[in-house]
Structure 1
């Protein structure tokens, strides 16, 4: 069996070990029955592997069998008859490099004997596969397979693979080796066939290809969009005019040559413009069989805008400079009015009728439809009406018109109507809100709002908030602004009342009637209702003392004085005493050794028969461990030291006073509210108070902030600025039962209304300056088309402010700021590219020079045309100084008639394609930068410069170095009339781009001449 196993290994070695090891191979070394000598290692860059007792052994270029023999002497140092097997666990990659039309690196280590054709199949390159979809290029059509080159160690082999693809001829196939360089050259222009224009198609040239066969590849041709009768065929640098309809019908045909080009022009479109109240205004095209009519143009524009039919006043049609007005009834009648190519149709709207609604119910600008009644009742319905609940809050309604105020009679609100005029302001004012703050023993706390018809009295307030129980109703106190004290009972059940003011602070105070009982029967406070007798006899009976004979006496302690009573006299009623709030009653035992603690610690402290009675033991038994809490201890009216131990007589009464915590109540605009307690070891002041509550609210970005800090103390009130308290510039010591209230600073705000901007309330935060400049910044600037004359309404006062960035004005809280469109101070300009724009006349006399310089027109342009009050004149602006003497007026239309004299076209993959003004010495790169620089799709290495226009001699320029900051040497000077084209396809030639460039230039010229 062992011999058979050895035979198998020898046979495997014959097939496997013929392979010679390479750098990067991973090999496995197995020493039979010796796992400590077996391992898997990788051939390092210097061709060696590590092995025990051998160090690094050089193995590159050796077979696995040779490596096994090298290792035997080292393994035999451990094993006498070592049997070693070596094999390749993982082969190192074998790379071939593909360059040219494809740039890839391929690993052929896993496919021994792979050939070039098999590698192309792996890459997906073939007649039916488009290869790399990301490049958007058909790789098969982009490669010249007739001139494939293989570089093997400097030896060059040229191959023609076309027979392989089209005849299945494998005679030229080559087995690939590691480090082979395969060059797949791009297909050059003289090898393929191109179709451009309306249709685009690219094909490899085939022997015997004719024009009719090429057209069959494209598919059916539509003569409605293509000028089949005017096609151009380029063969051997000659241009032939071809009627493709004859080729399709078989009347004539042409043999094609490599590099042939067919250009099929687009049929000139019929078009018209439509603007105004339509869903999709703009440039609309018509097919050859469609009539250009008003009806069809409206349909192409999506019809009149939704809910705007009532706003259509008339239809204005401009053709060949002549205007004609049609009534809006034409929309509902036969509107097949014929139009000419390039006509401009404007759906004109009625002038808007607007009313401004301000006051406490500010709704902004309310617009009326043309046929709506322009009355006050219509206005109220348009803002959603005023409900009965809202109506009780309305104090007054005024119609403000110029210097006249019309007061609306609220008693006849639903009966009387008022006629409105355009621009009226309707001010709706509410009754001022009345509120007070309440805290303490009430069912509702905080801000309490009174209805407009409610009396602002304490009795109404108590009825609105409710009190928890009848004890408070009969013995509670209403403290108003920490100054006026009124028994609640006299208000609820008597004839007493108090008239409140806005923002008053009302505290409902209540301290129950209680006495402290100390003795063996009871310890602690006992509450006595207002319904029960408040006498010492009633109290002793209510305690239920079962053995009165064990009681020595009853002591009544009140304000430092003590009275002694016999218990039997109190129980029998022979002696009685009226109690007062906070009295202390001591019931002394006749049989127990004890002391009695009064004051802030009310306790009965018992001692055993043989236990000494001392002060330290008394304090320990009472639970007082921290002597810092003790204010003082008195015995028989004398203060005794508590930091040393002294003997105390049995039955003594000690009065212990503790340092009381300071309690402060905080309400208002702070981060947290409520009761704050300062312990005996804490400093009670405003700084620590707000520190415990999280601080005042004074963030610069907040709209609402803390404003004033008020401290109410008995009959005094202290006022502080919240910002100074916040910064630590002011502090104030607090006392027990102080009430602190922080007021809220309302934000500054204005109402902003107008067309073209968002109608809203604009609030200013704590850190913002309340002025016009800040307001303009907060609304994002004054939009284009909005007048710089701003109307500011403060009540019935109207101010017109002309916005100027160099000036500024302060605003008033609650003002109404109105921005309107400027229908008076604009001229309209159509530049050389056909783009319309409006220019605001910001001075009384604006010259043509001012307008032209704003749209960057200079003396390079030759003529402009001005339409003013129906008159038309052309002006030569070659001498630009003459434009200084021409004054333009609002409503004028200025058209730049022709392209500039010193220009070049920059087209293709730039951000602003079109005309670019050039100067002496302007380079191609500078012209591209003027056109907005390259887009992300641009191919800077294949830019074409056409001298004198698209028919001129093309120059290929490489500007790729400009993107990396390198010096660009290939950067010629641009001349007047040149065309610079930045492509997005590196494989198209200069000639292939000519139809695209011609179409773009025609488009720019047509647009610029549209308004001539």
Structure 2
């Protein structure tokens, strides 16, 4: 920057010594001893001067030395060896233009060496006022340079600049002596500094109450924005006392907070900690040895994913996950000798021989064998290590005695049933002593893989191992238009079908006074719809269906019916929405009854408008109605036209003579932003694009015609340029330029609010320049944006509306290409 300024001053100095004449300059020509040839002339607008013996001389762009030689050649014709002197007695005005905090122009010809600092003095601008001399912009020959004149006033004289004619100087308004801070500080916000205080980072932090201790380790980086330029620093910058500019914004950024909900607690992870299942186990507070959890625990993630912790310690978690840590100790069920549940820790061998030793078998001779999963082992082989096997979690181990009259039960529950020595053992006796009194509860009974008939009291040998499987409850979820949603269980005594399910859920909504009723039942199994049944068929017992565990049942609803009614009370433009309940017949006769009959003076001819067209019926004809239809009771139908909006609602307009479609949409306040209309006239349909003015002017609407709105409003405009969300916005009535910019996400850091352009009707329309800074300060009135307008927020305040048209054209072409690709 300094090199540029030095070069600028050198160039300006050379310029001063090689000044060329311009229109308006007053030139003094002096010929020694010849007063009649000495005169003062002004360079005319065409760059010429008049001189005796020479006539018109073109002098624009010539130096005074060059003009001296030209004059001397002419004078030599009448005087020998003339002495000629030419100098500028008065310079033509040389204007520079000042914008920003002040708006004016200044003639720098008053000083042959006018610099920026001298200009400030000439304009009587004080450094103690609201002018920001540290960020001056100088535009020269389509190039913009920045000058910090505040450094000049602080003794750095190399910052001054020699001005040239046509320079544009932008002096911004001095910002308040404030700075902003956001992020994990006690009191984020804006802070003022006195004239005696330097704006430093450490003082700003102190004013904000300092960094929150609990958030200090989460700090990621620090962003400092000064003069719309952002720089990012490491967190170490917070320990340094750096100087900030007025209006600086300090944004302390943190790592995203990472937490997991586990066992009813919120568990936070620090930025340097791995976000894994293993780390969660380490952080969770439990009474069980963590190593046992790692080996025998499992996790349920977000309620639907159950995985063992062992082997998944490095599974990555997402912030906000709900992870329940469940400790499932390794247990086996022992039936017979020292029967019960035995827990084997991860530090113990999980083998059958170790289990026998842990039980402390001290009378090997009295043992028959050990039975596990259909295989028998000799007790002495296990004790002396001649055989062994790995145990599985939850496995049942039966240790059978010699000489005892017993039966061992495994399966859904474990039991050891002992009988007197000489008593005969039967199936029913075993079930009774095992406290299974209801045979319907039993799904299956097996001996050595063979199924027994539970309807017969079969003899059972002593020492037999019975595997009993019990019936499990069925769970079905029902949602939708039922009185009680939820998951319902069917036990073994209940029928698991639709009729029973809706009995549990309170039934359907089918009351005679309801406007909406239950409609269809969908049964979904394994993510597929396997059945669709009408609710009425289930109620009447015509259809039913057996359900299975995990089925999902959804009940839809439907509206009984509604119509829009016009004119039944004689007011053609007033309508009523009439709804029907389930207890009412959805027909014209019921409608007339609900309206209290047809009033005197109303035509007996009734018009019904539906999506397929219209039909006229006599009032005493009873016809079924269509949901959403419009029913017209008329006094004088032949003098009305009907406009049906996009929702099917009709509006009537009185016509005493045919008019054009353009007059209809203009005079009767039809929204012109609807692009397409359909006209139904004498049974003929025609579609019209209302953007084609010639067609709308040429198409005649007659009384009795029906006009339907087919399209949605095209009520949009473009907001482009330096906004956060450039593109298309929707307009409301009266939307202003500032409101449109806010809809587009407001301005970014490059925006120039003083030079916003509104192109009315598009780029080919009139361009209006708006100073939104003045609008925000209520110094000027905002403008209304209309459909098809373009609002452009530029980055350069010096470019004209014409300069931006190629840029906007390129942006619009990009949007059109994207729209075409999407379509």
Calculate the TM-score normalised by the size of structure 2: 0.31
Q: Is the radius of gyration larger for structure 1 or structure 2?
A: 1
